[in-house]
Every structure is written in structure tokens, then in C-alpha cells.
Amino acid sequence: MSYPTDRKYTKEHEWIRVNGASATVGITDYAQESLGDIVFVEVPKVGAELAVGKTFGTVESVKAVSDLFAPASGTVTEVNGELANSPENVNKDPHGSWMVKITLKNPSELDALLSAADYEKFVAEEAGH
Amino acid sequence: MSSVEATPAVRKTVLNAVHRQMGAKMVEFNGWDMPVEYPASLGGGIIAEHMAVRTGVGIFDVSHMGDIRLAGPQALAAVQHISMNDASRLAIGQAQYSALLYPAGTFVDDVIVHRLAGDEYLLVINAGTREKDFAWVRDNTRQFDCAVENLSDDFTQIAIQGPKGVNLLQKLTDADLSAVKFYWVTRGRLCGLDHILMGRTGYTAEDGFEVYIPADEATSARVWNEILAVGKEFGVVPCGLGARNTLRLEGRLPLYGHEISDTINVWEAGLDRFCKMEKQEFVGRAALEQARSAGVKRTLVGLEMTERGIARDGYNVLDAASREIGYVTSGSPAPYLKKNIALAYVPPEFAAVGTPVKVEIRGQGAGAVVVPTPFYKRPKKTA
């Protein structure tokens, strides 16, 4: 799997794609693969505040419960309502099935995140250990 | 016979390399490195594996399960003394669900007792309790003229589960499987191996067999691969512990450390029908007699979530006023039933079917209701 270069990645396996002052957040292919069949996605409502590095939601597979960590601080402007009824879309298309859109509070926070190439290297090490 | 051996850090079944080669996702379970699910390219994934067992056939490596053989003139008396079900009712070739109890009436482990011959019994025990069980059985049967052997490392145990399991296994054996009833065993030639024990048992709430083959690596890999190859026409899917857990949960089959443990007694766990108090004596009987007249303070119930959220092992159960009344022993999405279900201990006054409760999920009470169990019951065969 190659990771799209139009976005940045966290070591907790979220991706964030910036479009001006707004950004879209989801989880990576590695994350969905590790979780297995995803059956539940819970994200905050429009208007909620995300703080960088803090949990903002939950993804559950049949077997596991996993926290979502905010790749950047910001205010939720939109949630992907489709995932409430079709959480398996995250398995099918992890880099297309976004979870929330936010307006960025401090875009410079993204400088600390990984590029696609660095993230790929990171997960290769994590999987290979 | 050896004493209790030191336990290495992580144990592997002899099929471990085969699972890894197949690309199974591996996890540690009770000290064992086991497949939790297989890749989607092999028909795997917990939901797909679960559905294969409910509607077709799936196979599991369950060699981490242990085996204890009791043989000798007083083998029956020994089995009767250490187990709560009535082994005197077993014909040769018959098996029963039972449990080993502490004097307090709580669980050492749950077991399947097989009567293999007139004075020979095989107890199939759980992976996480192997050493404890063997030591306990040995120490509690010393007064009987009966040899106790730990055969746990002698067998590779493969479970072939699902409505098509009998058809698949029949292709590989000369034994007439149609003559083997549920919870009976037979022996026969399997994949060229003679005198192989095959039991119509399992842990999936589905029809199926468990076979016990010699635990050498080459033989085990050959049989596993032959079952998969011959099973292609039945759509066989290799299954891991993830599906094993959701399948047993739908069928309300207890898991040691969850629904049963050394602090939970038989009445609380609702396993009354496997506990034969009319037997004159067995370890735990006296305490159970007392506990029965005292009445239980908690009882195992089935829950179905009525609000969004998945109950998980260890989550608190709350009453309508959000007071903590119990806890979830096992909770999961149920892939076949397509509901979020759980087993939980609650006080008897909350045990009636239809009682509304809440499950505390990340600090919030989510609605649930007490439902009848088992959640899933396999359809009766129409002959």
C-alpha cells in the first residue's frame, strides 16, 4: 500500500489533508488493517474543539476499541455521517473515508507530522519488529 | 510423569509457521501465540470467518487446548470425584460438558469429558489453565487406582465447524460420521493416519467435529492443508480466535476468566443442568449445597444493546438510575445476529427478560435490555 502524498500522518495512524484553512481527518490503511472489521465510528459533533494529540473519538472493530487522536487543533465543521451506518467503508477505502473536517487553529502544528514517505517507513518498522 | 513444568514466555502450536505463512494476524492469548484472524484474500476476517461457520464450514487450530487422560480400574470414580456432571451416564464413545470445581463450588476450569474405553477418560481443558488443571487433577485423584497423564503436547487439535463440517470431514475419513451423534466420538483413518479420535464437539454453537492428530509438525501441517484443499468445494475458511470468541458468545458458551472463574460458582454461572447434585459426592458439592439454599447474589444474563454502543468485557452495568449493579463478562458485536450483545453478571432482581439496564461506555450509560440466551441456537436438522 502506498500512502497518498497529499496529506500528513501521525504515529497514532491518523491522516490529515489540508485545504486552505480547513482540513480533513481519517485513519490510515495500516490502522484499518490492524483493527480488522470496523463496526463502529464515534466522532464529536459539529462545533466541538479538537486539541492536538488528544483523543477526539473512537473506532471499534469486532475485536478492538481504538481511540482517535487529533493530528491538529481545530473546530469540527463537518462529520462523515455515512460512517454511522456504514463503518466498514473505513476498511474498504481508509484514505477516502474521512471522519471529520476541521478548521485549523494553528496550521504550524502540522510541521511536526510525518510525510507519506516517513509514515511508510514508520509502519514498516512497526510491522516488522 | 513429570511435575508442573516451568512455563516458557510465549508458546506456539506446531501449526504456528503455517498460520504465519498464510498471513494470519497473530495475537497472544493466555500465553499462546495464536491466529486471531486470517487475511481477506483467504476468505478471512472475523465477520467472514464467523459467517462461514454459521452457514458453511470453518477450521480452527485449537491445539492450545490441553488434554488429560485418566485410565485404570478406578478411573470412573476419579472422574466422578473431580467433575460436577455425572460421568457414570457416559457410554463408551460418549462425551459431556462438565467442570472441575474447587471445594468452594467455584471453577478450576470447564472441560469436556470423553469416555474413550471402559476405564479410560479424556478431559479436554482450556489453554490458559493447562498446568493448573493437570496439577489439580493429579493431586485430587491420588486416592484412586487410576493413572493420570498430561497429553496436552501430544495432539494437534483441529476443529472443523459449521453445517458443512460433516461433509468436509467425511471426504477425509473412512469412519461413518453420519452415525456419530452430537457429543459422541469415533475413531478412524483420517488423511492416511490410523485410529484418529474424532469428536462431534466444538465451541461455536454449531455442528462440527474436533479431531486429535499426532502433534508432529509435518503431519499436522499436511492434515491442516489437506482439510483446506478438500474443503474448497464447501467454501472452507480458516478461522482464528476472533471468530471463535464471537461464535461462542452468540451461543452463550462460557469462557474461563470471563463467565466462569475461581470466584464464580456454578449457580451464578447458570450451569445448573451440567451439575448433578444427585451424585453422592464430588469436590465442591457441599459448598454448592449451601450456596443453593443461601441463594445467589448475582446471576449471568444476556444483554442486547438498545442504544448505539458496544458493550465490552469489564464494562459496568448500571440500573435506570445509573447506579452500578454489575459488569459485562463478554461483550461484542454479534456478526450473525447483527446486534451488539453481551453476557453480564447482575443481581437476580435485574435478571428477568425485558429488564432495561444501561452499559457504561466511556463514561456514558447506553441502553440495553435483558434478553433470553443463548442469543443464537442452531436450526434443528430436518432429516
**B347-367: average pLDDT:** 97
Does any CB of chain B come closer than 8 Å to the CB of residue A80? no
Amino acid symbol at B289: E
Residue B3: its pLDDT value, please?
A: 45
Q: What is the dihedral of CA A88, A93, A96, A100, to 10 degrees?
A: 30
Amino acid symbol at B241: L
The answer to whether A40 contacts B246, with C-beta atoms less than 8 Å apart, is: no
Q: How many CB pairs under 8 A join A and B?
A: 34
CA–CA separation, B28 vs B9, rounded Å?
10
pLDDT band at B7 (very low <50, low <70, confident <90, very high): low
The answer to whether B335 contacts A62, with C-beta atoms less than 8 Å apart, is: yes
CB nearest to B312's CB, from A36, A65, A84: A65
Chain A residue with Cα closest to B341: A62
Question: The C-alpha cell of B96 is what?
Answer: 459431556
Domains of chain B: 16-64+154-250 (3.30.1360.120), 66-139 (3.30.70.1400), 297-375 (2.40.30.110)
The answer to whether A36 contacts B335, with C-beta atoms less than 8 Å apart, is: no
pLDDT in tens, B238-285: 999 999 999 999 999 999 999 999 999 999 999 999 999 999 899 999
Under 8 Å between Cβ of B343 and B334 = no
Residue B380: its pLDDT value, please?
A: 80
Looking at beta carbons, which residues of chain A come within 8 Å of B45?
36-37
pLDDT in tens, B48-89: 999 999 999 999 999 999 999 999 999 999 999 999 999 999
**B352-377: average pLDDT:** 98
pLDDT in tens, B30-41: 999 999 999 999
Does any CB of chain B come closer than 8 Å to the CB of residue A61? yes
CA–CA separation, A122 vs A99, rounded Å?
23
The answer to whether B333 contacts A40, with C-beta atoms less than 8 Å apart, is: yes
CA–CA separation, B166 vs A18, rounded Å?
56
Chain A residue with Cα closest to B49: A37
Q: What is the pTM of this model?
A: 0.95
pLDDT band at B8 (very low <50, low <70, confident <90, very high): low
The answer to whether A37 contacts B36, with C-beta atoms less than 8 Å apart, is: no
Does any CB of chain B come closer than 8 Å to the CB of residue A40? yes
Chain A residue with Cα closest to B38: A36
Residue B1: its pLDDT value, please?
A: 41
pLDDT in tens, B220-242: 999 999 999 999 999 999 999 99
**ipTM surpassing 0.90:** yes
Best residue in A62, A88, A92 to probe B by mutation, most B CBs within 10 Å?
Answer: A62
Measure in Å the smallest separation between the Cα of B236 and chain A Cα atoms: 20
Does any CB of chain B come closer than 8 Å to the CB of residue A60? yes
Does any CB of chain B come closer than 8 Å to the CB of residue A36? yes
The answer to whether B362 contacts A58, with C-beta atoms less than 8 Å apart, is: yes
pLDDT in tens, B153-209: 999 999 999 999 999 999 999 999 999 999 999 999 999 999 999 999 999 999 999
What lies within 8 Å, CB to CB, of A7 at 6+ separation is A15, A16, A17, A18, A116
Look up residue B94 and give its DSSP letter.
B
Does any CB of chain B come closer than 8 Å to the CB of residue A63? yes
Residue B6: its pLDDT value, please?
A: 54
Closest C-alpha among B208, B309, B315 to residue A41: B309
Under 8 Å between Cβ of B105 and B277 = no
Best residue in B305, B341, B362 to probe A by mutation, most A CBs within 10 Å?
Answer: B362
The answer to whether B310 contacts A37, with C-beta atoms less than 8 Å apart, is: no
Looking at beta carbons, which residues of chain B come within 8 Å of A58?
362
Per-residue pLDDT of chain A (129 residues; tens, 9 = 90+): 689 999 999 999 999 999 988 999 999 999 999 999 999 999 999 999 999 999 999 999 999 999 999 999 999 999 999 999 999 999 999 999 999 999 999 999 999 999 999 999 999 988 765
Percent of chain A with pLDDT over 90: 93
Question: The C-alpha cell of B69 is what?
Answer: 487422560
Looking at beta carbons, which residues of chain A come within 8 Å of B312?
65
Chain A residue with Cα closest to B247: A62
pLDDT band at B383 (very low <50, low <70, confident <90, very high): very low
Inform me whether the pLDDT recorded for B18 exceeds 90: yes
Domains of chain A: 8-106 (2.40.50.100)
Looking at beta carbons, which residues of chain A come within 8 Å of B36?
36, 63
